[in-house]
A and B are shown apart, each in its own frame.
Chain A
């Protein structure tokens, strides 16, 4: 059985972001990088399945981007992936989700992956499109926003999170692709001995130019910080008067007391 997990390296969300010189993405200077949080859920789920099914399973981690993404790949290897594919692309951020999905699909086609795991979305672009478009291009079943996952004899039972806290359960036959949501699992810390061992695991590097066949379908035309909102409203006076003021505001400006 062959498993693939696709990950992206994103800036740490505690970083200070500023638009790049073209104003279409963020500037990459002075940023700390980490594995996309949703992709950590994907890696953890894939590793758990690999551990459950044993040595006959091969789990590959794939990432597209410049050299720095190897750090995220190494983390996935230390978490338990068997080997890795780094699709070298210094300007991955300039590609739209369709192109990224196409690159993955071109790579994965004919490789015989039974299951592909991705994060629900990336924390920086947040399109939530890549996973489903990979599935579409490969002709795989797919299921998004997983908060529960079971696998038995070629059938995936996926619990999905829908709006308003409602859950749904979907069964799919492999080959299939799932996108993973917060709450699916608690990603493990890569242990220090496993980090050392992962140094010996194979990372194949491919040039994106050998895999990119699709033209972009969308382009970001502007990237900017929202204008600052005004300061908060400070109420003053005695407690009874403050309560009246708060009730008045809640009635007037919200639906809380209607």
Chain B
């Protein structure tokens, strides 16, 4: 749903200009240094990108999901590490509070998350609980007016920069399933909370993930999201339903950029005395990439419109995530093929994107988990 066409168009123009003028020129440098300069983070903050999805009454822009998707398509014309800066605040790092937080929690954290003053992070995955998130082992035991959290969370995006963590832990030791899990808001600096070393990743250099350790980390009862025990897994799943569409939009933006890179190379590069874009086998790869990226874009927008109409998008968001993430990897692979040997060389952005986009088939639910969600929902509906 687009509330105001001209307003969203102006936002897209602004983000598009910013991406072209500021982000694309430094993306290689950021990857090499595994760091985004502070002034760029400040500019992203000043532009207001941290607050895309946070409601206006809490200081955000309150965009509809369709509007958010259009902005994300544009932002992701640059390396995905820049989207990652805002990704957790727009998505999983803030959504738990937006969807299920108490009014007090919303007032305390959302304005700071919307402005980018505070970075949010989502701590669900554990060393022994990845795809099988419901079997997580972290515990939060009640002790008077507090809970004491123990456990380790793995591959936590933006953890080194985060000021607030949405942490999932088992509050009911008798209940080993999803119903025994609660979600907590844990602030950086809370005694007992510590970070592991930054992981050395295949791609997305400049974006950071690490372990988050909880060792007798004491938080007040008021830190439980929504104020109720046992709701955490539901909060996580609702958060992921929405955020998977966001990741799919990230894949669509990256797909468009990779296609542009491959196309501009194909029309310039000459072999057998003519541009390689004249050859039908190259054209086939370009055409397949274009058609698939268009399909992914259409799916994302359709799903976003459904979400904006307050309909359940559990199946559709998994379809988007599955299709768009698999698609962007195929498109990146074809782009490397079109560039030939150059596609394997770091001087070309395609080489970097090939590594960067591989993550999208893994996080916020692997492709296989998306398949399970889709199939289970289909079977549930027929029964």
Contact = CB atoms under 8 A, between A and B. Distances in A.
A192 B9 contact: no
Contacts of B48: 191-194
Contacts of B18: 189
Contacts of B11: 192, 195
B4 interface: yes
B86 to A, nearest CB: 11
Interface string A75-89: 100100000000000
A74 B61 contact: no
A74 B7 contact: yes
Chain B CB within 10 Å — which of A34, A193, A194 has the most?
Answer: A193
A74 B49 contact: no
A199 B51 contact: no
A195 B51 contact: no
A131 B221 CA distance: 66
Contacts of A196: 7, 56, 61
| SS class, residues of chain B in contact with chain A | helix
Nearest to B50: A192
Nearest to A196: B61
A70 interface: yes
Contact of A191 (B7, B47, B52): B47
A199 B47 contact: no
A65 interface: no
A71 interface: yes
Most chain B C-beta atoms within 10 Å of own C-beta, residue among A34, A190, A194, A195: A195
A189 B51 CA distance: 17
Contacts of A70: 6
A183 B49 CA distance: 28
Contacts of B4: 199
Nearest to A67: B6
Interface in B2-23: 4, 6-7, 9-11, 13-15, 17-18
B217 to A, nearest CB: 35
B61 A189 contact: no
A6 to B, nearest CB: 20
B17 A195 contact: no
A189 to B, nearest CB: 5
Nearest to B17: A189
Given A75-B13, A192-B61, 10 more contacts: A34-B13, A70-B6, A74-B6, A78-B10, A191-B47, A192-B49, A193-B51, A195-B7, A195-B10, A195-B11
28 contacts: A34-B13, A70-B6, A71-B6, A71-B9, A71-B10, A74-B10, A75-B10, A75-B13, A189-B14, A189-B17, A189-B18, A191-B46, A192-B11, A192-B14, A192-B47, A192-B48, A192-B49, A192-B51, A192-B52, A193-B61, A195-B7, A195-B10, A195-B11, A195-B14, A196-B7, A196-B56, A196-B61, A199-B7
Interface of A: 34, 70-71, 74-75, 78, 189-196, 199
